[in-house]
Each structure stands twice: as C-alpha cells, then as structure tokens.
Structure 1
Amino acid sequence: MEVDKGGYWEFLLGAKLRMTHGDGFQDLFNDFMLRVHGDDFTPIKPHGSQGDGGMDGALGNDVFQCYGAENGHVIDAARVCRKMTADFDRACATTPSMKRWRFAHNLVDGISRPLLDTLEEIKVLAAEKNIEVGFFGLHSFRKLLRRMSDDDRTAVLGVRAQDDMMLARLPEAINNLIAALMEEIKPVQETYTSRSQVPRDKLVLNNISRHWSYQIEYFLVFSPISRAVTRRLGGEKQSLLLPSFFRLRYEEMKHEGMTSSQILNTMRALLAGNVRSLDDDLREFAAMTVLADLFESCVIFEETRQEDNRDEIYDLAD
C-alpha cells in the first residue's frame, strides 16, 4: 500500500482525522492501536472516581495522551499547552515505569507554534527523568495504516478503496454527475416540488447571505433528484466518496479563513466547471442543486455551534 504517494487511503485518513475530535478522536486512536498491536496496547478510561492517571493509552512503557481538536484546528492554544504540561506531570507521578510519552493529535495541517514550544519545554523536564517525549500525528497514523489489512482499513475509515487513483478521478465523477442531473432536471425544473427545507437557524449560524439563502432554499427542492442520480451513477461507493471529497474541500477553505460566500462561490465553480455552451444555464442549475443538497445534509457548513467556539480538551478525569 503506497500511502505516502498520496493515494486514496491517505485521502480518507486525512479527512477522518480532520472530522474526528474529542472522545471520537480518542476512540479512533484506540481503534488504530488495537488493530495493529492487539492486546499489547491498553486503552485507558476513567471509571467512577478513578481517573486515568494522565494517560489515554499504554503500550509497554509508552504512554499516550490524546487531543482531538475541533475541525483539526487549535483555537485556545494556551489552554491546550497548560493541559499538555499537566498531563505529562500527572503521568510521571502515576507511572514510574514510563519511558516514552506521546501527545497524539489530529492536527493534520501542522502543529501550532505554542504547542511545539510547550513540547520542547516538556522535553527538558523529561530528559531529567530519562523519558522520551514527542508527538503522535499524521505520520504515525500512516505507519499504522500500512500495517493494517484491507478489512481493518475499511472498518476504520469507512470506505473500501478500489485503487489509489480514485481521488484523481473525482473531477470526472463530478462532471458525470452534473451531466446526468441536467438530463433529469430539464423536463421538471419548472414544476417539481419537494418538502425539503433548510432550517432558518442553520443559515444564520453559518452567516449565509440573503442572496445565497434564497438560492439554497430554492434549489433544495430538487435534492431528491440529485441523490437518486448520484446513487444510480456510482452506487454506494460514489455516494460515500463524493461527500467526503466536498467535506475536505470545505474544511480546507474554512481553515484558510474564507467567508461563507467565498466558499459557496468556489464550490459552485468546482461543480459547474468553466464550460461555455448553450447548456450553461442548465449546467448552473444542476450545480446549484448539488450545492444546496450538500448544504442541507451538512456535508458543507455546520449544523450546531460549538460552545463558546472553543476546542475541548477531552480528559474525563477532570
């Protein structure tokens, strides 16, 4: 499996890490470790008044602490840094046999400077105790992924890859979807009705402009056609792959600081392409139908606001 060549499994791994946070990330980490190391790895959970002793998992003399940021992005870095230091100190106090301490995270796009500086400070303290300290991130997950069977990769990441070139063919798949939708929508675009409706609070939550709100609400009535065509073209495989592709594109644009209108315009361009012909209006119509469906199903944008817009540090011992 050539994960390092940017294949399909790597795409799914990156998307999974970005979209998994908190307890979900700890569960994902445990799943990876158990499938590779079996009973040699021990997941740790607090039980009643018994805390976790500053560890989320142990492999021999290796101790792991998990941190799953919301959308793979650190907001309150100072809080995370304090937690890193406190977790290391607690692990040292409760686990005298510890030889290595690893901070497992889902920061696929890179570590923030404050976290790196804090780890360097912890390394100084750890050196006095002959303890090796480091991060456990994307590279470490890739190494585990290589050691898994296809069945385990499928179970962990959710979709079986047919080959490593599937991601490269997504633009072709999108074009085929739009072309098929054009044929389906053409005879009914003036008469079709549906009960689909975007909740008003979701439009407000994501700061969707009035212009885009009107368009999303209008084109959403055609979403059943969009979903039916997607299933017919590619079956279950494509109906799972395309949403993952668009979610990843959304996360990338969100992390770049793009506004909701900029994100929607970019998504529409990705769907409609740059073709100029007599069918342009119908192509735009089909693209907007898919875009509205992606919004309503929460593939792009969010359904609920994260409390205080903060990352959470998931340690049930607190």
Structure 2
Amino acid sequence: MDAFTNSTVAGSLPSNNSVAPRVENEKKSDFDLFFDFNFKDLNKTDFEKWFAAMAECVFGVDFELVKAGGKKGDKKSDGRRISTETVYQCYAPESPDKFANYAATKISDSFPAVLGFWPQMKEWVFIHNNEDGLPTSASDKLEELRKLYPSLTISTGSRRFLKDQLHDRLSLQQMADLYPKAAIDVEGVQMEHVRPLLKRIISERGKHFGSLEFGEIPDEAKVEFNHLSEASKFDIKRARTNVDVVSRFLDGQNNPSNVSVIQTAMREKYLQLVGLGYEPDEILGKLCEYVRIGATSAEVAASHIIVTYFFDSCDVFENVPVS
C-alpha cells in the first residue's frame, strides 16, 4: 500500500531500496514536522505505538513492551523500563473535550490494576496527548494517589516530555526509520521528475480521449467531505508546497488537448477505483501508483504532487455540494 494510504505512526513507503531516507542529508530539526503531526493527530492505539517505538529506540533492551492478550490484556502497561521499574500508561482520546471529561476516570480505573500486575513498580508515568495539561479533576486524582502511595513516584508526560526525553534523543537513522515519509522529498521534485510521468499518460491515453465534467477549485472542506484520514491530509498538505511544477508543465503544452487528456485519465481512474469499492485513503494511494512508472524516491514524491494537483483542481475526488 502506498505511503499516502497509511495512518499508523508515520506510514510506510513502497518496498524499494531507492526510497530509503538519505540520513546524511538530514538534520534532526527536519523531523520536527513529523513529531508535530504524530502528537497532534494520532490517538488511541496509534499514539501508544508511536510512544512505544520511540521508547524502544531510546531505552533499547531496558524497555519492555507487553502485547495485549489473554485475561490479563496488556497488564495495564504501554511499556515498562526495567532498570527503574517504571511503568508507562498512555491515554490519547480523540479530542480535548473527551480528555477533560474522562482523564480522571482513566487514572482511577487503571491505577489499582497496575499495582496488581506490577508489585515491584517504583514509578508510574501517565502519558497523554493533551498539550494544555491536565484538567483539575485529573490533577486532583493524581494527588490523591500520591498521598495513598507515598513510596511511589507518580508522574505525567505530554508533548514536552515526548519531545525532549524521547524524540530529540533519537539518532538521525532512528528518526528516519520511525518517520519513513520523510523520505518523500516533495520539495525536491523538479520538472524532470514530473515530465515523464505526465507525458506517459498523454501518450497512452491520447488515442482514446474522452471527455468528463470537472469541478470548481475546492476549499479545505473538500478534504473533510471525502473522509480522508489525518495521514492523508498531512500528505496532501506537504505536497501542496510544490504543485506549481505540475502547473508549469501543463501551461507549457503546445497542444491544449494534452491537458484534457490527463484530466480525463485521472478522472476515469478515480471513478474506476470508486466503482471497485476502494476506501478514500486507498484511492489516493492507488492514484499515486497509477501515475508512477517505477518506484524511485523521486517518482514517489512526484506522484504525490501530481495527484495533489488534480485533487485541488477537482479532477479527482468529490466536491462539497453547493448549498
């Protein structure tokens, strides 16, 4: 499945050695964009997996991840640091409102069970995705537990903890492994990368050119209307920074019908995928595969930019109905 279609942690790229991140050209600050996306938009099990992946990189074999299964589940743990007897538990609901309403209940329900599973525990860390901090109800519950269990250290960790203690302690190679979408260099795409992909469509489809109706330029509501995942929204937002390279190619066509050929090909492919029952994220990925000739790093990035251009020009996906 294409990098456009994945919503877990950071997505995955096509299995081709040519798309592996070139870490020697990167610096750690280049990955801050991916940290911000994961912290802001991942929730529930995706957030837990992201936390655990960073902790495993930082702590190595000192970090123990317990897979859920059987009557004990995951033993109320999203990871344990063995040397310090620290147990981590994540709570990352879908919205700040839900966090405010249920964080205290989550703490209250979890902590007694944690003690039962980990009697040697010395520290319990409540990891969460609420950048504004704890609601007073959750803070009060933690203070209550600190008084009841004075021998234990009871802590919390949110954005600053995840950034300073985990993300920023990763090596460049670990960051590249954790965020494989960083290998998609959309800003590096030039005309030489876009031209052969679009010329192939003109060559292959020009002989049986048809016509379809196309929509108006969309607003941001189009992304929501088509039920695309947060990961797909992120990919489209990144690709938009360089869609002008597609515009320049189309504007430079001596034969105006070439533009209509490409538009029709993209629209027909989109409608075919809809008819086959693919989900929106899958369609976005399949369109990228359709555009590409191979799977080099440059082609992967160029295909994302091309598909985003035709998304924004309303040749693919559905427009928000005008009320």
Query: What TM-score bracket applies, with the shorter chain setting the length?
Result: 0.5 to 0.7
Aligned to 1:274: none
Aligned to 1:104: 127
- Deviations 1:123-143 (Å, cap 9, x if unpaired)? 332244223333322222223
In 1, are the aligned partners of 2:67 and 2:74 still within 8 Å (CA)?
yes
Matched, 1:66 2:140: no
- Measure, in 1, the Cα distance between the counterparts of 2:54 and 2:129: 13
Matched, 1:135 2:156: yes
In 2, are the aligned partners of 1:56 and 1:65 still within 8 Å (CA)?
yes
Shift of 1:233: 11
- Measure, in 1, the Cα distance between the counterparts of 2:241 and 2:65: 42
Aligned to 2:109: 86
C-alpha distance 224-162 of structure 1, shift in aligned 2 (>3 A): closer
Q: How many residues align?
A: 228
Shift of 1:232: 10
C-alpha distance 232-87 of structure 1, shift in aligned 2 (>3 A): closer
Letter in 1 for 2:85: N
RMSD of aligned C-alpha atoms?
4.5
C-alpha distance 106-79 of structure 1, shift in aligned 2 (>3 A): closer
- Deviations 1:129-173 (Å, cap 9, x if unpaired)? 22333332222222322222222111111134699x99xx97752
- Measure, in 1, the Cα distance between the counterparts of 2:175 and 2:111: 31
Shift of 1:37: 0.6
Letter in 1 for 2:258: V
Shift of 1:288: 3.2
Shift of 1:30: 1.5
In 2, are the aligned partners of 1:43 and 1:56 still within 8 Å (CA)?
yes
Matched, 1:176 2:245: yes
Aligned to 2:258: 188
- Measure, in 2, the Cα distance between the counterparts of 1:54 and 1:82: 14
- Measure, in 1, the Cα distance between the counterparts of 2:304 and 2:127: 27
Letter in 2 for 1:235: E
Aligned to 2:207: none
- Measure, in 1, the Cα distance between the counterparts of 2:260 and 2:305: 30
Letter in 2 for 1:68: A
The 5-angstrom pairing of residues 142-161 of structure 1 reads 142-143=163-164, 144-160=166-182
Shift of 1:181: 4.5
Aligned to 1:236: 300
Of the three residues 141, 145, 167, the one matched with 1:125 is 145
- What TM-score do you get using the length of structure 1 for normalisation? 0.55
Aligned residue for 1:69, secondary structure, equals coil
Shift of 1:77: 4.0
- Deviations 1:28-55 (Å, cap 9, x if unpaired)? 2211111111111111233312233332
Aligned to 2:195: none
Unpaired runs of at least 5, structure 2: 1-25, 189-237
Aligned residue for 1:15, secondary structure, equals helix
Aligned to 1:53: 75
- Measure, in 2, the Cα distance between the counterparts of 1:36 and 1:8: 19
- Measure, in 2, the Cα distance between the counterparts of 1:162 and 1:47: 36
Of the three residues 98, 123, 127, the one matched with 1:75 is 98
Shift of 1:82: 1.0
In 2, are the aligned partners of 1:22 and 1:69 still within 8 Å (CA)?
yes
The 5-angstrom pairing of residues 156-305 of structure 1 reads 156-160=178-182, 173-183=242-252, 186-190=256-260, 192-193=264-265, 194-197=268-271, 227=291, 234-237=298-301, 288-289=312-313, 293=316
C-alpha distance 120-176 of structure 1, shift in aligned 2 (>3 A): farther
In 1, are the aligned partners of 2:288 and 2:303 still within 8 Å (CA)?
no
Aligned to 2:45: 23
Shift of 1:11: 0.5
In 1, are the aligned partners of 2:77 and 2:87 still within 8 Å (CA)?
yes
- Measure, in 1, the Cα distance between the counterparts of 2:245 and 2:305: 14
Aligned residue for 2:77, secondary structure, equals coil
In 2, are the aligned partners of 1:55 and 1:87 still within 8 Å (CA)?
no
